[in-house]
Amino acid sequence: MVAIAKDLKNNPVVEVQAEKLKAHDGKQIGIFGGTFNPVHIGHLLVAEQVLSKLHLDEIWFIPTNIPPLKNAPIVSAQDRANMLELATQDNARFQVKLFELFRGGVSYTVDTLRYLHEIYPENRYYLIMGSDQVNQLFEWKEPTKLAQLATLVGIQRAGYPQKARLPMIWVDVPGIDVSSTLVRQTIAVGGSIRYLVPKTVLNYIKKKGLYYE
């Protein structure tokens, strides 16, 4: 489990120092941000397809603290981080990074990318986003700066045509119409989310009683 301990939450430098101990030559890193509320099989499928098709070294899952463009109720940062760890623990090339949770406040992707360039300037970053996010990209903070800090990678989502206004690589991913909203709604009405989320995440949700109210 991820431990977002009080001393870490109040002192994000601790994580930076720990990460710097793992300094490495430059890598190709896919950045996959979101609330992950909860993480589901669609997230994992997208990450694996981008990793494979773009020949990246790793995918970094970065859970948002407070999203600027979403209003859905969000379970605690601790629970979302724990579910991400459980979902990705069997893939050594999937890493969960808690930069935005430690930073607190509203999470802006451009701030995270600036931070990553500061502490890992040797890496090359690929920002992964669904076509729904691509279509609202100019509502994000400093969208043109995002394209300077990372290669933009678009994933087609049903119902959201490709309307990129900035240079972007599109990666074809098998269509699975699963969303965190669908998972939450299914739980709320007493339906089964088996196979919509990894078994470890399913067990965690049941044990903690998440999304049932």
pTM attached to this predicted model: 0.86
Helices assigned H by DSSP within 10-128 = 13-20, 41-53, 77-88, 99-103, 109-119
What's residue 160's pLDDT? 64
112 part of a folded domain = yes
Q: How many domains does the chain have?
A: 1
Q: Which two three-digit tokens encode residue 123?
A: 């890496």
Confidence of residue 23 (pLDDT cuts 50, 70, 90): very low
201 part of a folded domain = yes
Predicted confidence (pLDDT) per residue in 40-94, tens digit: 999 999 999 999 999 999 999 999 999 988 776 679 999 999 999 999 999 999 9
Confidence of residue 22 (pLDDT cuts 50, 70, 90): very low
Phi-psi region of 201 (alpha: psi -120 to 50; beta: other; left: phi over 0): alpha
Q: For residue 204, what are the domain limits?
A: 24-208
**CA separation for the pair 20, 33 (Å, rounded):** 21
Predicted confidence (pLDDT) per residue in 157-178, tens digit: 766 666 778 899 999 998 888 9
* pLDDT over 90 percentage in the chain: 71
Residue 198's CATH number: 3.40.50.620
